[in-house]
Amino acid sequence: MKQVGIIGSGTWGTALGILLIHNGNQVTLWSAFEKEAEDIRTKRKHRNLPEAAIPESMEITADLETAMEGKDVLILAVPSIYVRETARKMAPFCKEGQIVVNVAKGIEESSLLVLSQVIEEELPQACVTVLSGPSHAEEVSRLLPTTCVVGAKSRRTAEILQKLFMNEAFRVYTSPDMIGIELGAALKNVIALAAGIADGLGYGDNTKAALITRGIAEIGRLGAAMGGKLQTFAGLSGIGDLIVTCASMHSRNRRAGILIGQGRSMEEAMEEVKMVVEGVYSAKAALALSKQYQIPMPIVEQVNAVLFDGKPAADAVRDLMLRDRQIENPALEWEDESEEK
């Protein structure tokens, strides 16, 4: 049995807490708000996970030191825009070599760092790792079969976490490619917004399939330029997470995109979804990275135009369809290069 502190009481942090207690661990869940902590503690329910029961053994607190003290593993599960601020608050209570698992998905807009890099800046004494994959909290909290990947700099640390999380309903693979895992996790939210917009416009399965396949091509190109491995983008945190986020109504990014496609503004869509829509915060960072690394990302460009420049969604789709003719994969060679007479 391990002592685990979960820093962040959103749906994902709470679902992982339920999973880890099921695995026989002792879990403390931290909320930034005393009222929320008290509500979860007394009702043993999370307002956004109505089908999940929170075990009586899960300790709920609004005191950060209590949540961190004596823990074998800390899971940082706050929305991406709060990762740096929260990690900074954690610093006084973080011991040397402390394993910190980042489960948030995003890119910091101001620095263009992935979140593990942000955490390392604020917690240089910690051993920072990442867990990601196609894993909606609503299903994990009910112990429905799910598969994820844990990334770490050392095999030993990855295997410790694999053993911690894995059970008959939650299969975990290991990988050393932390940058690839995090880029896949963050960028798929931007593509999922595009998929939702297409749904909102009334387009069909063909459109969504095109966005998913061309979306992973964009993610893979940028990810490889930044040091990620192409095999990672073909795996759970790449195409796997992209498929589930583009297809499921559990996906807040897809739901926000649907509303935008139906004519809502970005602000109206985020208000109606009532949870943090990570793709909105990652979209600008993704566009900035594409320019920095000189990687064309037409879907990301059009999502930014719709979100921040007031471009009509239907015009964005039309412009994607009317781009210059392209070879699907420039790395493939023609058997016959001779010109027809």
Catalytic residue among 35, 105, 163, 188: 188
Beta strands in the chain (DSSP E): 3-7, 26-30, 59-61, 73-76, 99-102, 127-132, 146-151, 170-175
Rounded Cα–Cα distance for residues 339 and 326 (Å): 18
53: how many CB neighbours lie within 10 A of its CB?
Answer: 12
Q: What is the DSSP string of 138-180?
A: HHHTTT--EEEEEE-SSHHHHHHHHHHH-BTTEEEEEES-HHH
Instruction: List all residues 6 or more positions away from 92 whose beta carbon is below 8 Å from its beta carbon.
Output: 65
Largest CA distance in the chain: 80
Q: Is 2 a catalytic residue?
A: no
Name the burial class of residue 243, with classes exposed (0-12), middle (13-18) and buried (19+) by CB atoms within 10 angstroms of its CB: middle
Tell me which residues are annotated as active site: 188
